[in-house]
A = this chain, B = another copy of it.
Amino acid sequence: MIDKVVSSVEEAVAGVPQGATVMIGGFGRAGQPVELIDALIAQGASDLTIVSNNAGNGDVGLAALLSARRVRKIVCSFPRQSDSWVFDRLYRESAIELELVPQGNLAERIRAGGTGIGAFFTPTGAGTLLADGKEAREIDGRLYVLEYPIQADFALISAHKADRWGNLVYRKTARNFGPIMAAAATTSVAQVDEVVPLGAIDSEGVVTPSIFMQRVVKVPERQWLHDGKFVGRVDIEGQPRERATGTGAPGGSQ
């Protein structure tokens, strides 16, 4: 019997080696696997190369991993954000290496990593600073730059529901990098709001098929959900709004 569900986030991140390449899902805070990142901090692996769209927000999650000085290099598209002070400080201290990749090339390189493509010609970035030193070629009158796949030892992602085979579905724009990172890592780990029985996920609607996943762990349901339904009453960072004015039962309206 296949059962990829592990019982703790510690178990979920066990075995991440020193110097590993780790993909971390999420676009800003949406889809960022905060509990898995916290477990990775506790696990202790360092000298990591992180592949992620952003370089952390505030002081939690990826920012906390950076702050703990576990990251040697980050491959990302948009490190500078209004709340990326942790990365900003490390970068100015030259305490972290940055490989800046246009977001679509980052996504396509991760996809290539998961699908066995050796390299691909992309028009994005051609003729710009970010193509410096890279092979360029004109194809049918358009300029392209050659980009190579990205693979990882581990992928840490956040999804909505999983079954014990590892089939995943996501929630809204929190899907972002999850499906392509899941396919591009040797050990892919998802934290989920809910583990459902095998067969409960519609076979037509599976977003990440089981073959890509190695470990699944249930974490406490996100604050804005209740039994899988959206109940809201949080701010954009997921923090509770107006605790005092609640009406008692979490009455969702979507």
In the complex, chain B residues whose CB is within 8 Å of the CB of A115: 108
Closest to A115 in B: B108
Chain A residues within 8 Å of chain B by Cβ, number:
26
Give per-residue flags for A94-137: 1 if the beta carbon is below 8 A from chain B beta carbons, else 0.
00000000000000100010011111111100000000000001
Q: What are 21 A-B contacts with C-beta separation under 8 Å?
A: A108-B115, A108-B117, A112-B120, A116-B123, A117-B120, A118-B121, A118-B122, A118-B139, A118-B140, A119-B120, A119-B121, A119-B137, A119-B139, A119-B144, A139-B148, A169-B204, A170-B204, A171-B204, A172-B203, A204-B205, A204-B207
Say whether A235 faces chain B, with CB atoms less than 8 Å apart.
no
Nearest chain B CB to A184 CB, angstrom units: 15
Q: A118-B142, A118-B144, A205-B205 are in contact. List 6 more A-B contacts (CB 8 A).
A: A108-B117, A116-B123, A118-B120, A118-B137, A120-B120, A204-B207
Chain B CB within 10 Å, residue with most, of A119, A139, A140: A119
CA distance A251 to B190 in the complex (A): 41
Query: Is the C-beta of A202 less than 8 angstroms from some C-beta in chain B?
Result: yes
Specify the chain B residue showing the minimal Cβ separation from A119. B121
Query: Chain B contacts of A170 at CB under 8 A?
Result: 204
Contacts of A118 in B (CB 8 A): 120-123, 137, 139-140, 142, 144
Q: In the complex this chain forms, how many copies of it are found? A: 2
Whole-angstrom CA separation of A202 from B170 in the bound complex: 13
Q: What residue of chain B has the Cβ atom nearest to residue A116's Cβ?
A: B123
List which A187-204 residues lie within 8 A (CB) of chain B.
Answer: 202-204
What's the nearest-Cβ distance from chain B to residue A116, in Å? Answer: 6
Q: CA of A71 to CA of B137 in the docked complex: distance in angstroms?
A: 33
Give every chain B residue within 8 A of A117 (Cβ-Cβ).
108, 120-122
As a 0/1 sequence over residues 189 to 233 of chain A, the CB contacts with chain B under 8 angstroms (1 = contact) are 000000000000011110100000000000000000000000000
A123 to B118, alpha carbons, bound, how many Å? 7
- Tell me the complex Cα distance, A122–B203, Å: 29
A137: chain B residues at CB < 8 Å are 118-119
Q: How far is the CA of A108 from the CA of B115 in the complex (A)?
A: 10
* A188 CB, nearest partner CB in chain B, Å: 20
